Amino acid sequence: MRAVVVHSKGDLRVEERPAPTPAADEALVRIAYGGVCGSDLHYWTHGAAGESLLVDPMVLGHEIVGTVERAAADGSGPAEGTDVAVHPATPKPVEGVRYPEDRPNLAPGTTYLGSAARRPHTEGAFAELVALPTRMLRPLPDGLSLRDAALAEPAAVAWHAVKQAKDVAGKRALVIGTGPIGALVVAVLKRFGASEIVAVDMHDKPLEIARAVGATETIKATDADAIAAVQADVVIESSGSPRGLMSAIRGAARGARVVMVGLQPSGEQPALMSLAITRELELVGSFRFVDEIDEVLEAFADGSLDVAPVVTHEFPVDDTLEAFETALDASTSGKVLLRF
């Protein structure tokens, strides 16, 4: 079978690998679509994603949907022929490290498909056939196609971020950075009834996508005065840059809540803490998601969450390098899908 494997910085290959042999609690899934994530791009361009260093060759990919080719031998999970989305996390505690048990996304030993955070690395699912634990599989609601479900995982990240913002109905929201996650945040904010959604980005294409999924106003990231004038009740920082976080704080109204979903660079970063203090801002992190993928799939199926404009390109798996190069150019692309 074909798989997308990153060997080292700048070395991305589509290569033949043996088909997997599932464990008793695993189903064999034939992958239909995979979305190229920022972490996939980082492993290719930098040999690392944040503090996760690529040491060995690794199959990429965690945004995937497919069809059960062989059901799990232990009888768990969906039957053969079932279309599924995938929750790519395996929560694991670490002795001596505390976290709320009802927030498994914060479990310190968690592994994620296509991650080099630990060694051996956790292989991803950009492959024609993947053996996956049945607890990861989410059967698609009736009438929802695999293509339409392809953004379930990143949309769950956006859904979780909006939940971290608490009640957004009737409020003015500001979204900093409208790459794929930011654009999905805009769509989820609309789904939850935000009355105004102001989107900020460096490039015209992401702002065009943001308008298509629900932004009521767009601002170029270079217009600091316009951003500061927004005075949003809720701000969601999706750029993952120190300058984006500064814009988020400047654009927040007094007493506002700022949700940080864009992963900032590791190490110390500059931030406008004095402004956050004097405005009594609530700064809240947002990391991956819990089970919001289930709510996302239902919202896709009933039409209340429209994310179709976020996908701008689709490539067959044999053209993976072109797909990654396209995804790397944020000025011309949104979400890029691989078709298996």
Q: What CA–CA distance (Å, rounded) separates 276 from 272? A: 6
Q: What CA–CA distance (Å, rounded) separates 165 from 172? A: 12
DSSP string, 27-91: EEEEEEEEEPPHHHHHHHHHSEETTEE--S-EE---EEEEEEEE--TTS-SPPTT-EEEE--EE-
Asked if 330 contacts 182 with a C-beta cutoff of 8 angstroms, the reply is: no
Q: How many residues does the chain have?
A: 340
The token pair that represents 4 in the structure block: 């997308």
Give the CATH number, domain containing residue 234. Answer: 3.40.50.720
Are both 126 and 170 inside the same structural domain? no
Are both 144 and 119 inside the same structural domain? yes
Q: Is residue 273 part of a domain?
A: yes
Specify the pTM: 0.97
pLDDT of amino acid 266:
83
What DSSP state is assigned to residue 264?
P
Are both 35 and 175 inside the same structural domain? no
pLDDT of amino acid 50:
83
Are both 139 and 169 inside the same structural domain? no
Are both 141 and 10 inside the same structural domain? yes
Q: What CA–CA distance (Å, rounded) separates 16 from 30? A: 15
Are both 162 and 54 inside the same structural domain? no
pLDDT of amino acid 267:
87
Give the CATH number, domain containing residue 23. Answer: 3.90.180.10
Residue from 23, 29, 130, 129 nearest 73 by CA: 23
Q: How many CB atoms lie within 10 A of CB 268?
A: 7
Half-sphere exposure of 305 (CA within 13 A, CB side): 27
Are both 108 and 162 inside the same structural domain? no
The residue segments making up the domain with residue 31 are 2-151+307-339
pLDDT of amino acid 51:
84
Q: If the chain, 340 residues long, is cut into consecutive pieces of 10 residues, what is the mean pLDDT of each piece?
A: 98 97 98 97 94 95 98 98 98 96 95 95 98 98 97 98 98 98 98 98 98 98 98 98 97 98 90 96 98 98 98 98 97 97
Number of structural domains the chain divides into:
2
Q: Is residue 107 part of a domain?
A: yes
What DSSP state is assigned to residue 254?
E
Are both 20 and 142 inside the same structural domain? yes
Are both 13 and 77 inside the same structural domain? yes
Write out pLDDT tens, residues 127-165.
Answer: 999 999 999 999 999 999 999 999 999 999 999 999 999
Q: Is residue 259 part of a domain?
A: yes
Are both 142 and 170 inside the same structural domain? no
Are both 170 and 70 inside the same structural domain? no
Q: How far is CA 255 from its chain centroid?
A: 28
Are both 11 and 126 inside the same structural domain? yes
